[in-house]
Amino acid sequence: MSVPSSAIRPAGSTGHLPAVAGSFVPTCLPAPRAGVPDGGSPGALSQSLAALAQRGPRTSALALVAAGFPGLRFETDHERAVVDRQHAEAGLDRVALAYLRGDRAAGGPPGEYLATLSEQLRHAERSRPQLLKAEVTGPLSQALQIVDEHERPLAYDPAFREALAQHTVLRARWLHDQLAMAGAGALVCLDEPFLDALNSPFCPLDWEEGIDLLARTLQEVPGQRGLCTTNPPDWKTLVELPVEVVFFDAYEHSAGLIAAGAAIGGWLERGGALGWGIVPVEAAALAEVQAESLTRRFVAGVEALAAVSGLSCERIASQALISTSGTIAHLPAAQASHAATLCAAVAAAARSAYGFEGMTTPAVALAQP
């Protein structure tokens, strides 16, 4: 039994959003992407916002979401995922039924993954954060990354695409509940590093199909939703997705943000927030940059966006998080810690520049699942 695409309910627009995570105001807090080492650099994360470390093969963004998908096995230390179609097809009905029933318990990962994740949850909650963030690979990038036994990406098969989306929803719901039980608001982010592949004539999905699948998946994620991009995004499309936070590469790709200033301004007015990936993750650049120059780059970006959006610099900065240009999970621990420390330093300078230093961040009011 294959579940039709309509089984994942149609997505609505973001509408009039509250501040991120209810009454949580970002105010240039540091929020490096997944991969900060456990017990990483002092001050790398704030007490208001924490994140799962997601270092190691069993808690990477792909492993965290894909583990347990029918017929799937990981190879090369979890860097490659392969699905055996014969074994997978027998389990697709189980995924569809759990999704349609809203069975939140069905979204848990296999036991060996759960043990590692539980340890990272315990570590993250020690700071008693108001908001706890986790990242999982989104359905589009999963469909393009995961192959069958014939090396054919699952994106070519509509039934498998839908099953991956349903499985992602189940895992995101389960993960949201785990984060919430840690006593914090939950921000579950879908990482879509291959989003720009939809523009390729060789992609098995066209732009409309891919964005529809992503929107329908995001719509079903409870609590606060984030979207992580790396390549230059289509901002006018992204701000119409049901998402509260967009993390983007502000180190290399801020020009598109400014070009879409009017649309970005409207989205920010509705309560959206931007994760400015101002700290580079490319090793050579990371070794050379300084917090002072990155702060100037961030401030210049805020000023440029203010000039075209009609919003004040203070308003834009109040809805900004300071992040890395991509995930830092692939970096050696020392480099990942350095990137997180730079995020903290830029965040501190930006908070001082915009008068946020010493502000008490309001408590989180969770959105209803």
Torsion angles phi and psi, residue 135, rounded to 5: -120, 140
CB atoms within 10 A of CB 357: 13
Quick: pLDDT tens for 224-250.
999 999 888 899 999 999 999 999 999
Stretch 200-207: mean pLDDT? 94
The CATH label, of 2.40.128, 1.10.20, 3.40.50, 3.20.20, for the domain at 19-353 is 3.20.20
Per domain, the residue ranges of the chain are: 19-353
* Cα end-to-end distance, the chain, whole Å: 28
* Structure-block tokens of residue 275: 């994760």
Which tokens is 235 given? 């901002």
Whole-number percent of the chain with pLDDT over 90: 72
Which residue, 338, 336, 323, is CA-closest to 37? 336
When pLDDT is cut at 50, 70 and 90, the band that residue 1 belongs to is very low
Residues 216, 8 contacting (CB under 8 angstroms): yes
The Cα–Cα gap between 277 and 261 comes to 17
CA dist 126 and 326 (Å) reads: 25
What mean pLDDT do residues 151-179 have?
A: 96
Helix (H) / strand (E) containing 167:
helix 158-181
Task: Compute the average pLDDT of residues 30-41.
Answer: 78
Neighbours of 343 (CB within 10 A): 32
Q: Is there a contact between 319 and 25 (Cβ–Cβ < 8 Å)?
A: yes
pLDDT at 158: 96
Q: Which residue has the tokens 């704030």?
A: 46
Per-residue burial over 18-57, b if 16 or more Cβ lie within 10 Å, else e, is ebbbbebbbbbbbbbbbbbbeebbeebbbebbbbbbbbbe
Which helix (DSSP H) or strand (DSSP E) does residue 80 occupy? strand 80-83
Residues above pLDDT 70, as percent of the chain: 88
Q: What is the pTM of this model?
A: 0.89
Between 180-184, 196-200, 269-273, the lowest mean confidence (pLDDT) is in 180-184
Q: Encoding tokens for residue 187?
A: 């921000």
What is the predicted pLDDT for the residue at 227?
Answer: 98
